[in-house]
Structure 1
Amino acid sequence: MAKSLCWCDLTAQTLEAISARPVDHHGDSSLAKALDLKHYKTDARERILLDLYVMTLAACKERKLTPEKTSTFFSIVKANHFKAIEDLKPPTNTGLTVEKSFEYFQQLMVMHSAHRPPYSVGIFTVAETKDLTEWMLATYYRHYKLYQYAFCKRVTLDVATDEPGHIVEMFSVRFPDGVQPLTEALTEEEHNAKLEEERLAAEEAAKQAEEEAAAAAEAARLAAIEKEFAESIPAEVGEKVDTVLEKRLAVMKEELEAQFQAQEATLLEKIAALEAKAGA
């Protein structure tokens, strides 16, 4: 069900009072009092709103609209403006696009241009609807971006700069493990050389580990062969081999003892000869 905007903001008594006291762009107007714009002299946004309202009433007066039509169109302009800026707040500050805003304005005008209760009320004629729409396009929508800019909520950011040395003194910077400060960082050439050195060291370590593993495997293979060979010799053969080895070792021992005795006798003879020569 459509809600008529007639007499929503300006009653017949208010319009009569405004008409009795001319509405201008200077001083404390009766329109500002009626709409509770108490700070329009110091608040730029209230000043802009008052200018828009004065301009709207002037357009209605120029077209000699009745108080009912004047009140209705005034509320349409006001409702359309606040709809356009209702989303103008951080962080998006988007608001309605001009196309969406004009579409909303047309809906409001249609709701008050055809008498089809309870969906719409016939306040404006077709000619008046067209004329007032053209007026909105030539005034409000011509400066639509300026209205959005004026009513956009601003966020002020204060930025202070300081010398790098002072910043280091103010804050104790702790770097994660493995991360060096820029003053101690390597150049690209040094970094690449270090990476190459680490790569070669890793290859050498891998090669050495491979060789050690191969040597261990070969030793294990030989030990297994020796064990297998020892286990394959019969016990009797082993005993005979041990006996032969014992006899051979005994013979070698006797031969070595005889050699030692002969060498000792020769050495004693030479000593005796030297002593004899020395006594003569």
Structure 2
Amino acid sequence: MDLRLTEKVAVITGSSKGIGKETATVLTEEGAKVVLVARHEDGLKQAVADIKEKTGKTLDYVVADVTSDSDAKKVIDYVKDQYGQLDILINNAGSAFAENFDQVGLDDWQNDLNLKLFGWLRMIHAALPELKKQGGAILNLAAVAGKTPPAQSSPTSVSRAAGLALTKTLSKDLAQYNIRVNAVCIGLIRSGQIEKRWQQDAPDKTWEEYASDPKFNIPLGRIGDTREAADVIAFLVSDAASYVSGTAVNIDGGSGAAL
């Protein structure tokens, strides 16, 4: 399928590794111009080198922190100056802080919401004037816990749930500008954090053996790969999904309890 992404300009936050980096790779393969965003320049340079090795194309990047209003504006100003347009914003920056409610202080709540919910809001506010010019797509990366929060998942599941409500609201408010807003809810996907758990819990097992352990209770029988998440994200931000807005797609191997 032709995703019709050629010459589209995309910004991806948290894209120096993991799903963000893999999504940048897929969009680049599909012909998009991608600007990577993360806090650490060393990681961004490595991501650019890795993607160039795979695709033969050199990506742009901006060092920025989504918890900063001025940094969010800096990213969009750079894209406007360099490319003259913005078609796609993918809000991927974030981390999972989950604890028993009794162990979570007010500062923890504020920090989590500031990174996730308000990180999305900062980037969207900054990007909106450019997206309004020709329409486009916003994609927010949430987690299945945002739909069905388990025990000991504060504050991350609450931040994600708020982000899903924001996604639905924006899909209605921004439709008049032909801006589509969707989310994906990530389950267990191979990442640096999960690989550390693998090395700690079962260093004698291969990745395939560890990923398919029944203890994860994944109906498809294994932990997912970043490429599998990136392919879904690329579709949702592409013109091939031009009539899809206001939805949150689970990428979890069937393990989620909610549609």
Bigger helix share:
1
The structure with the largest alpha-carbon Rg is 1
TM above 0.5: no
Higher RCO, 1 vs 2 (CA within 8 Å, ≥6 residues apart): 2
Bigger strand share:
2
TM score, norm. by length of structure 1: 0.21
TM score, norm. by length of structure 2: 0.22
